[in-house]
Structure 1
């Protein structure tokens, strides 16, 4: 590690690292409001407003976490589970006559209730106690399934599928993506530039796209400065199905919170305390309440931050704090949000490809630390096969199911982790060692 979590790098290094954190944060979140806006039929100006809201509240929630929450340089971002539910319920809701705006109004209320749930768990000190459930096989399964669930989107994006409305592989885009990946790998091997490999890869790729004429024009902004507003979708609306699904999601995302802090502890070479888990739970509740008030997709700590630190060997908190202030400023100036939204998605995917491989690496390291006996193979193998297998089931196959059932059984990451928890702690639960056994081992 070149700079530890409490180190203060030189000013130039700090500013470059802050810029890198900003670009990583934007690139990991920018696609979500664009996708939600497309599925919910929003107009370009409305998508721009949703983008601006998302950026500001990501910066605010992340700043609060590193200042008063878990205190790790780990950005908040739209949770994959939340925007997955947004998409699933948009498809189901329209089929039963619900207007997309009504779904958004109900989600706002659901996010606020889920946030209150996090506040209660963190305030009562229960989040820290959950940490003992996340043994190496559970956290390893989570990280492996997370990497696998992302790989399809990563490679699809790198090949240009979906870029500029193309439904086919674009050879030029694919070759350029390989070149960007090679550049990032080369930079990570250079001591002087390794901390900024992702940043330089994105900048170089964006410039190349501009030269080739592959960039989209930046949408004009009609206002120079604009404060974020409340309730993007309108006044909150009660819907039993959506609210109950939101509460269930809140419980499930406790898993994500704990595993993210565990992984960050490993990446920063520190040992997270029970107090950090509980503070993280409280401020994840705050970020969910902010998401509900703003009308953006629910935010959680992103494990991707650990992979960025592992790649750059830069864990200092100071650049991250500056970056999150910068993200909030972006959310106040629509023109900046529109400019950053013009970042070609294949460039972002390619520059961060090595970073995503670190997620898989964390999971494999957890598995390597285990004794590969019959129990470990059964628990880990069953969990991975269930999770990966569900990922191959078409989303349309769940449309006739109730929303909560389709959410639970249609998400391979979620189901795989739940299977692992049940097998690890209930079905194949290890017997607790008696005091006599411990004394004998100590002797």
Structure 2
């Protein structure tokens, strides 16, 4: 309890607040825009995101895996949902039908995740996610999210407007400068200052942006229209969308394995079966809730590993304080509206630096694999295929049946599935074992 009232805990908690905020604020805005929701509905979903995410972080830290790992709206789910909306538009499927089917799929996915937690299947499934699989996941996940935040740094808007957007040179220059400042502080500054590098970058960048551009490119301020169930569409059954959602939910378990396994060394202990059970159960509960409220489903953030490496703040108390402050931001709209004025390009620049640490996490997993000319395919195929698919325009996949198109058009999902299949179907280490 004494730790809770220390000023250092609250300063570290403030940095956690900004990390949670910058990882959350863009997601409901882009999803709302993709579904063509009015600004009032988007504001409501944004406010709900703050409240639910703050609660989810605190519950996981207190009763779940009990580590300082952000529980937030999954980047993997985010990408799948945006892909589904683009496919729905191309196929003339009403977005309300997509949203309603997605709600059913997300709720079912949450129930399956709860079952995984309650039955203790987490450690069993974890055996499938071997070091080579986790290395592929971490690398592709980093590529996917770094790409999103690099676009934010370049002043390219999120959502449908990105189709015809161009690079904003002045915004890009400031964002790059802020990213360089954060990197230099992280490398050169004394440890007492280094741990607050992200917070320092946000404060400097926010002030510099307002002085330079007068507050342009911030989140649009709109009052909430009140909460409602199924804001993306009333529940309706579409087999293809629901199957895709359930498969995405199963692959989303990689986030839990990545976050917990990736922090074992930091906490100097291996994740226990009890931690897996509690973590999956809580993630499943909040995923089901997100289906009802129209939010992107939840998962432990593997990007938290980069934050922990960057700041060294591994204690739970500052993280719980950050989650509490984020919850308050949602409960008291004026506070949330003030922080939502943070320029997206500055938030993207700081997160860009934080997510670079995912390369280190990927390398740590790959270091547990002995690569040879025979077994290099176990990683090379999913990595290269996944990255190439990420670069292909959506129009290339129009000839693929709609039921599997969302999966096959996602480089991240394809890469994870290939890694799982290749790693668990072949004995790649037989040549090294023979030696």
Q: Which residue does the alignment assign to 1:178? A: 176
- 1:267-416 to 2 correspondences below 5 Å: 267-416=266-415
CA distance in 2: counterparts of 1:432 and 1:183, whole angstroms: 47
335-344 or 413-422: which moved more?
335-344
CA distance in 1: counterparts of 2:399 and 2:339, whole angstroms: 38
Q: Which residue does the alignment assign to 2:203? A: 203
374-383 or 232-241: which moved more?
232-241
SS of residue matched to 1:193: helix
SS of residue matched to 2:263: helix
C-alpha offsets along residues 39-69 of structure 1, whole Å, 9 cap, x if unaligned? 2112221211111111111112222211211
Q: Which residue does the alignment assign to 1:56? A: 51
CA distance in 1: counterparts of 2:129 and 2:56, whole angstroms: 25
C-alpha offsets along residues 138-197 of structure 1, whole Å, 9 cap, x if unaligned? 111111111122232232222222389882222222221222122212322322211111
C-alpha offsets along residues 350-404 of structure 1, whole Å, 9 cap, x if unaligned? 1222211100111122223432323442211122112112112212222343344
CA distance in 1: counterparts of 2:2 and 2:59, whole angstroms: 20
Deviation at 1:18, TM superposition (A): 0.9
Check 1:50–1:10 CA distance in 2 against 1; reply closer, same or farther (3 A cut). closer
Check 1:10–1:335 CA distance in 2 against 1; reply closer, same or farther (3 A cut). closer
C-alpha offsets along residues 217-267 of structure 1, whole Å, 9 cap, x if unaligned? 7755557xx985433335433322222222212221122222221112234
CA distance in 2: counterparts of 1:432 and 1:126, whole angstroms: 31
CA distance in 2: counterparts of 1:206 and 1:47, whole angstroms: 23
Deviation at 1:127, TM superposition (A): 0.7
Q: Which residue does the alignment assign to 1:3? A: none
6-15 or 347-356: which moved more?
6-15
TM-score (normalizing by structure 2): 0.90
SS of residue matched to 1:77: strand
Deviation at 1:277, TM superposition (A): 1.3
CA distance in 2: counterparts of 1:407 and 1:419, whole angstroms: 16
CA distance in 1: counterparts of 2:165 and 2:82, whole angstroms: 20
CA distance in 2: counterparts of 1:420 and 1:7, whole angstroms: 46
SS of residue matched to 1:343: coil
Deviation at 1:431, TM superposition (A): 6.2
Check 1:421–1:98 CA distance in 2 against 1; reply closer, same or farther (3 A cut). closer
250-259 or 135-144: which moved more?
250-259
- 1:214-233 to 2 correspondences below 5 Å: 214-216=214-216, 219=220, 222=223, 228-233=227-232
Q: Which residue does the alignment assign to 1:85? A: 80
CA distance in 2: counterparts of 1:49 and 1:174, whole angstroms: 30
1:181–1:350 Cα contact (<8 Å) kept = yes
Check 1:227–1:328 CA distance in 2 against 1; reply closer, same or farther (3 A cut). farther
Check 1:192–1:213 CA distance in 2 against 1; reply closer, same or farther (3 A cut). same
Q: Which of residues 14, 18, 21 in structure 2 aligns to 1:23?
A: 18
CA distance in 1: counterparts of 2:373 and 2:61, whole angstroms: 41
1:109–1:236 Cα contact (<8 Å) kept = yes
CA distance in 1: counterparts of 2:321 and 2:2, whole angstroms: 14
CA RMSD across the alignment:
2.7
CA distance in 1: counterparts of 2:180 and 2:4, whole angstroms: 27
2:55–2:327 Cα contact (<8 Å) kept = yes
CA distance in 1: counterparts of 2:142 and 2:286, whole angstroms: 24
TM-score (normalizing by structure 1): 0.89
Check 1:227–1:14 CA distance in 2 against 1; reply closer, same or farther (3 A cut). farther
Check 1:331–1:173 CA distance in 2 against 1; reply closer, same or farther (3 A cut). same
Q: Which residue does the alignment assign to 1:242? A: 241
Check 1:31–1:383 CA distance in 2 against 1; reply closer, same or farther (3 A cut). same
SS of residue matched to 1:374: coil
CA distance in 1: counterparts of 2:369 and 2:25, whole angstroms: 37
Matched, 1:45 2:40: yes
Matched, 1:152 2:142: no
Deviation at 1:19, TM superposition (A): 1.0
